[in-house]
Amino acid sequence: MYADTKIRRNTIRDITKLKGERPVVSLTAYTAPMAAQLDPHVDFLLVGDSLAMVLYGMESTIGVSLDTMIEHTKAVMRGAQKAMVILDMPFGSFEESKEQAFHNASRVLRETGCAAVKLEGGAAMAETIKFLVDRNIPVMAHIGLRPQAVHVMGGYRTQGRNQDERTQTIEDAYAIQKAGAFSVVLEGVMEPLAVEITKKLDIITIGIGASPDCDGQILVVEDMLGYFPSNAKFVKRYAEVGQTIDAAVRQYAEDVKARSFPAKEHTYRPKS
């Protein structure tokens, strides 16, 4: 599955120069086989903290640890040869101080070999972003709906519905650009606001529940494959993998009960 011919991995420069040329294609990945399968089709893969919910069945993204994120990122790096890989800094791993953020983000780059970190936050995180970028850690920011802030935001609410939210989101976008982030995820942002921010910024905007006019798009791969029970409006289901698995496992259970599996061709018998 993992071809051994050396392919050059995309760099931040490869991705950022796509602004105005063509949309950036990205998806989440948490495991080596999935990364290998997505690799030919995407510009970058994000090891999102959404894995807390999608893989580990947690109620929110808040409970996942940095150690867990690092192990999954190592797996994704082993699976993907071409895609740039970004690790999503989990809740509690960067907010305390810029020094804490550097300590943890430098560990991420050293231990995983991935190219960049993503962190949630706008103007409030600008100083931290600058501190990291000044010390050679590329940062993708994440503004609009921030799942790690679910409790203070009062749920998973689309941002930019009123003037205060619009002003705050634009301020956030300018602040993280000024701090040196190379890109920003716009999650759950009203479409006109996502378009406005994309036009105003020089850095690439990656939309999820935002606008087709963002500089690129991202989805949680299990959502778009129909393998996670998401009913979010912004998710287009490109497949129904959950149904395929269900049918296969149902058949397996029937075969086992009927003793029709394993069949002759699946068993080892002495040659007579």
Q: Shortest CA distance to 220 belongs to which of 88, 113, 115?
A: 88
d(CA 114, CA 149): 25
What's the closest the beta carbon of residue 161 comes to ligand KIV, in angstroms?
Answer: 20
Active site residue 222: no
* Residue with smaller CB distance to ligand KIV, 60 or 106: 60
Give every CB contact of residue 86 below 8 A, 6+ residues apart in sequence.
44, 45, 46, 47, 114, 115, 116, 117, 118, 140
What's the closest the beta carbon of residue 168 comes to ligand KIV, in angstroms?
Answer: 19
Pick the binder of ligand KIV from 10, 24, 28, 85 (CB under 6 A).
28
Q: Is the dihedral of CA 170, 161, 129, 184 positive or negative?
A: negative
Q: Which of 111, 127, 187, 222 is catalytic?
A: 187
* Residue with smaller CB distance to ligand KIV, 28 or 73: 28
Site string for ligand KIV, 119-158 (x = CB under 6 A): -----------------------x----------------
Residue 57: other Cβ atoms inside 10 A: 7
Q: Shortest CA distance to 87 belongs to which of 137, 147, 128, 153?
A: 137
d(CA 60, CA 147): 8
Kindly identify the residues of this chain, within the stretch 34-93, that bind ligand KIV according to CB under 6 A.
46, 48-50, 88
* Residue with smaller CB distance to ligand KIV, 36 or 54: 54
* Residue with smaller CB distance to ligand KIV, 8 or 76: 76
* Residue with smaller CB distance to ligand KIV, 10 or 148: 148
Site string for ligand KIV, 210-249 (x = CB under 6 A): --------x-x-----------------------------
Size of site (CB under 6 A) for ligand KIV: 12
d(CA 141, CA 121): 7
Q: Shortest CA distance to 85 belongs to which of 140, 122, 123?
A: 140
Please report which helix (H) or strand (E) contains residue 178, including its range. helix 163-179
Annotated active-site positions, please?
187
Instruction: Name the site residues for ligand KIV (rule: CB under 6 A).
Output: 28, 46, 48-50, 88, 142, 185, 187, 208, 218, 220
